[in-house]
Amino acid sequence: MASKLSLAPITDLTIHKRPTFHTQFLQSSYVLRSSSTSSLHKKLLSSKLDSRRKSFVCSNSLKQETVQNPTAPLTSSNKLVLVTGGTGGVGQLVVASLLNRNVKLRLLLRDPEKAKTLFGEHEDDKLQVVKADTRNPKELEPSMFEGVTHVICCTGTTAFPSRRWDGDNTPERVDWEGVRNLVSTLPQSLSRLILVSSVGVTKSNELPWSIMNLFGVLKYKKMGEDFVRNSGLPYTIIRPGRLTDGPYTSYDLNTLLKATAGERRAVLIGQGDKLVGEVSRLVVAEACIQALDIDFTEGQIYEINSVPGDGPGNDTEKWKELFKAAQLQ
């Protein structure tokens, strides 16, 4: 169970140019399976009364958060963001934050029931869940991506054998084959693909990374990165350090929206796989969301850490400064 939560958005950020770094591996609501556009819509399930009650509580919290954060970006009604790994440590925070900003979402999940627990049920014009497994290319049908403008891929597993590997959930299957299968199915009209990877992927034969890579997690993440880079799709790759804060996998949306990064709100962003340190999952989630619409982050790879101090929160101008400063180093 995660340690204490104090939920509220991440506050102002301080820009630091000093590199620091470490590693970590990463890693609704209607249910769909479809082979055509029409079947996709036919399989949207109607909301249940119990989940509507949850959604009502969450929406009240969302309104309050929005008032407190007038600079929150991505409220565009013509945006449809598809999130994979949306019930994982980073993914659930991405989803909660986008719901808070009234961005239309489609989640691609193996188990849609998890989404109901975390996020409740919402109308189709707010949140949909598609049942599919990125490890199985036969489950990824083009109709699932119809209308999608942006994708955030947060899928991942543990670096070392654990219960999370049960059911063939290994780094090779998730970080390489799953990413490859997903990217191969995405439409070329996509505005941006955000991939969450890891620091150290270019140094898997060097200490301490060689230890973390004993079972291939860095190798397979790098293979996934390379496939994205060569796909022809507009992309941004986010490489977090060792992940802290969460995962909040036992909480509901109302609780997630109050999560904060504690004292580690200041953000360090670098390039060239030089950072060594750790980063709050909340900061990683916000970096993914901000990168969606910052033009100059296209085609870029960023490493990210967080340290004690005030941070950028969801202020897009401050994030632009952080991303730009990293490119100038």
Instruction: Give the pLDDT confidence of 224-242 residue by residue, as tens digits.
Output: 999 999 999 999 999 999 9
pLDDT tens digits, one per residue of 68-123 = 343 444 445 689 999 999 999 999 999 999 999 999 999 999 998 888 888 888 88
Q: Are 294 and 316 in contact (CB under 8 A)?
A: yes
Q: Are 247 and 92 in contact (CB under 8 A)?
A: yes
Residue 248: its pLDDT value, please?
54
Q: Which residues pair with 303 in a beta bridge?
A: 239, 270
Q: Which residue carries 């439409």 as its tokens?
A: 187
pLDDT tens digits, one per residue of 291-301 = 999 999 999 99
The residue type found at 10 is I
Give the integer Cα–Cα distance in Å for 262 and 281. 11
Q: Are 246 and 89 in contact (CB under 8 A)?
A: yes
- Name the pLDDT band for 46 (thresholds 50, 70, 90): very low
For the ranges 208-217, 259-268, 318-327, the maximum mean pLDDT occurs at 318-327
The residue type found at 253 is L
- Whether the ω angle into residue 142 lies within 30 degrees of 0, i.e. cis, is no
Q: Are 174 and 157 in contact (CB under 8 A)?
A: yes
Residue 93: its pLDDT value, please?
93
Looking at 213-280, list the stretches that DSSP marks H as alpha helix, in order from N- to C-terminal side.
217-229, 253-256
Give the integer Cα–Cα distance in Å for 294 and 78. 17
- 200 has a pLDDT exceeding 90: yes
Looking at every residue in the chain, the average pLDDT score rounds to 79
pLDDT tens digits, one per residue of 140-159 = 999 999 999 999 999 999 88
- 252 has a pLDDT exceeding 70: no
Residue 21: its pLDDT value, please?
32
Residue 127: its pLDDT value, please?
94
The residue type found at 175 is D
pTM of the model: 0.76
pLDDT above 90: percentage of residues in the chain: 56
Rounded average pLDDT over 191-196? 98
Q: Where are the beta strands (DSSP E) in the chain?
A: 15-16, 31-32, 80-84, 104-109, 127-131, 150-153, 192-196, 235-240, 242-244, 266-270, 278-280, 300-307
Query: 219 by DSSP, 3-state: which?
Result: helix
Collect all residues with Cβ–Cβ distance below 8 Å to 7 and sequence separation of at least 6: 255, 256, 257, 258, 259, 260
